Copies of this chain bind each other. A is one copy, B any other.
Amino acid sequence: MALLVQKFGGTSVGDIERIEAVAERVIKARQQGHQVVVVVSAMAGETNRLLGLAKQVDDVPNQRELDVLLSTGEQVTIALLAMALNKRGFRATSMTADQVTIRTDNAFNNASIIQVDTENLTSLLNAGHIVVVAGFQGRDSGNNITTLGRGGSDTTAVAIASALGADECQIFTDVDGVYTTDPRLVTAARRLSTIHFDDMTAMARFGAKVLQLQSVEYAQSHQVPLRVLSSFEDGDGTLVDFSVSQPCAAVGVAVMSQQLLVRVAAPFNEVAERLTLLGFEAWCYAEESDATLVVVANDDLARLKWGLSSPTVTVAGVSTLSLVGEHVHQLQGSLHAALAECGLTIYQQKQSARCLSILIDSADQQLAVDHLHKTFVVDAESLDNQTFLAVS
């Protein structure tokens, strides 16, 4: 008998039919003898509907009250799922953040979990109940309702798994695992059966959307094994833990699209400092002594312009491609050679933990990701890592 925390996102609970499918899946685990805590998000579309109501009242709604509003979305889902489980003859009890209790700091709209009480959870589990917990929400020390920011339900699940010492935290989503690259871009992308936390962190940081960065980091630091599974199909998914990823040159290629390269008429140090003050996590680098290039998401351009006092010019639409893996720093030479083969220009490159990133023109994205994935993931599979690194 294991103790499992299972998390289902908004698409997985998007309508009553899907909520009933989630109930069946939870019951399957229960029937295998496991204790189960289920964490759910708001039904797909609900958070946006609520945000729309708030925006009708105020373009910049009061932050405390926005969390009171948004937290109702998850509360609706926990009630409906618990009803579906009870209807099927399984004892199930829903819990809001205050009933658990999930304690956070008081950063409304973007709170961090400080502590999860286990007493109420454990007594229900021991009484044979399936416990259905509202994700995304918490309470601060003043008992105000808080939310963790978008995607925060993953973090709720990991925090509960950590507090309970669960055997696994299972994240159910609309894909059946973590892929070597975005399968919507590259048909040859394949599912990884395991991936190391460090590689998963790099993948999430540089564009993989399957898991939220914050929840991966939380799981790693609390040593909670994560498993990514499909809500819709059976399968083993991808296990994220501390085992070594398979010996390929690169574990995967992360892709960040929809970015702009912007020239700012100011020295690098000044721009970098300003971006930090604005809370922008943007890639930026010096072009000349009085000009700096900044990479921002398309959607952030207006905010960037508003936040900088210096004139800006958009240079190009760009994409960031990142090779991820323990040894990718050694691949720099082969990467340049591979891209030269395709006749591509690299605007800039940088190294970070288990990651080698290049900035290219967005028009070249498809060609580049196909080529890098083939060279450093697919073709490299037939060789072991040391051989590949020696060859390249």
Contacts and interface: CB of A to CB of B under 8 A. Distances in A.
B94 A65 contact: yes
Copies in the complex: 2
Contact of A16 (B53, B82, B94): B53
Nearest to A78: B68
B143 A57 contact: no
Interface stretch (A83-91, A161-169, A191-199, A359-367): A83-91
A83 B58 contact: yes
A76 B69 contact: yes
A282 to B, nearest CB: 31
A121 interface: no
A78 B94 CA distance: 22
B57 A68 contact: no
Contacts of A61: 83, 87
A98 interface: yes
Range class of the A interface residue count? 35 or more
A265 interface: no
A19 B143 CA distance: 26
Interface string A266-289: 000000000000000000000000
Given A57-B16, A57-B20, A57-B87, A75 B68 contact: yes
B83 A79 contact: no
Given A16-B57, A57-B16, A62 B76 contact: no
B98 A79 contact: no
B62 A80 contact: no
Interface string A205-241: 0000000000000000000000000000000000000
Interface string A86-107: 1100000110101100000000
Most B Cβ at <10 Å: residue of A68, A143, A145: A68
Contact of A80 (B57, B79, B82): B57
B99 A83 contact: no
B98 A83 contact: no
B50 A65 contact: no
A79 B68 CA distance: 6
A54 interface: yes
B87 A58 contact: yes
A76 B57 CA distance: 12
21 contacts: A16-B56, A50-B76, A54-B79, A54-B80, A57-B80, A58-B86, A62-B82, A64-B93, A65-B79, A65-B80, A65-B83, A65-B94, A68-B75, A68-B78, A68-B94, A68-B96, A69-B76, A72-B75, A72-B79, A75-B75, A96-B145
Interface of A: 16, 19-20, 50, 53-54, 56-58, 61-62, 64-66, 68-69, 71-72, 75-76, 78-80, 82-84, 86-87, 93-94, 96, 98-99, 143, 145
- Would you list the 8 A-B pairs with minimal beta carbon distance, nearest first? A69-B79, A68-B79, A72-B72, A62-B86, A16-B56, A58-B87, A65-B82, A65-B79
